[in-house]
A and B are shown apart, each in its own frame.
Chain A
């Protein structure tokens, strides 16, 4: 170990310090700059029908085969407050901060979490 350290020049150490500080700073900066699950996306029949900001309270009906499904956004949370499908699973799921609410009979998918949470990881592999 000693010989390794003695083998390095001043420029080596400065370069290492610079790279490490820059990348650690970059990690924090990019984390701050990332949008945090800020959108509510409502998909009907697999197509995006509405996109709403999560931080604004609102209640809106979405029409479907079983009647209107009422979606409520409040305090940065989403729920289905009224559904007319047989099982009402979406209603029972209650408030959701991040993730998905699915109403199969009405073919409605409500997902929270912006783009980042909506799509899976992008990078499959990097090889040397």
Chain B
């Protein structure tokens, strides 16, 4: 890993962590509804710097956030890791396979959906094990995820547009370097 990559991951993780923290201060109508603001950073990292950076940033964010809030290795940490890793993997795969088909909003929707599905599955196997509860809660969570996903995707889209406009040349070069390195 190059030094530049390390700096980049550190900065992105700091952003993600800050958003993660801010998000827990924002009051939501339902206690377990989260906006997933940190996903904006994951998405930007994925589009600009590739899958590895996005996954690293997500893992760092989840682990550090759980250390700060004291839930490390607890049940909600398992849900967090599962959701984060699955959604990042799904977004990465979608970005790789359907590069031109989906924009940031679509990627964010994919991420939100897989985040929810992964958490529901984990919650089912670890805690609840009652199918009818899943059937009731599942669609609601997916619907809320779609709404927050669109919002996050829109923000990511605007952010990406501005970033690419401002320093498009530089980022492009970085990407080429990365490809050459592989």
Chain A positions within 8 Å of B, measured between CB atoms, are 3-4, 7-9, 11-12, 15-16, 19-20, 22-27, 29-31, 33-34, 115-116, 122-123, 125-128
Contact = CB atoms under 8 A, between A and B. Distances in A.
Nearest to B160: A7
Contacts of A125: 31-32, 76
Contact of B146 (A4, A11, A20): A20
A26 B137 contact: no
A31 B132 CA distance: 10
A12 B23 CA distance: 25
Contact of B139 (A3, A11, A23): A23
Contacts of A15: 102, 106, 109-110
B105 A7 contact: yes
Contacts of B119: 126
Contact of B98 (A11, A122, A126): A11
A122 B128 contact: yes
Interface string B126-145: 01101011011111111101
Given A19-B109, A24-B143, A128-B36, A12 B102 contact: yes
Contacts of B133: 122-123
B105 A16 contact: yes
B171 interface: no
Contact of A16 (B101, B109, B138, B140): B109
Given A7-B154, A7-B157, A123-B123, A23 B143 contact: yes
29 contacts: A7-B104, A7-B161, A8-B103, A9-B103, A11-B106, A12-B109, A15-B109, A16-B106, A16-B109, A16-B150, A19-B113, A19-B142, A20-B147, A23-B143, A24-B139, A24-B143, A25-B139, A26-B135, A27-B139, A30-B138, A31-B136, A33-B135, A34-B132, A34-B135, A34-B136, A123-B127, A123-B137, A127-B79, A128-B36
B140 to A, nearest CB: 6
Nearest to B30: A126
Contacts of A4: 105, 154, 157-158
A31 to B, nearest CB: 8
Contact of A126 (B23, B109, B123, B146): B123
A128 to B, nearest CB: 4
Contacts of B139: 22-27, 29-30
B55 interface: no
Contact of B132 (A7, A29, A116): A116
Interface string B25-48: 000000110101010000000000
Nearest to B142: A23
B71 interface: yes
Contacts of B161: 3, 7
A24 to B, nearest CB: 6
A8 B31 CA distance: 30
Contacts of A3: 158, 161
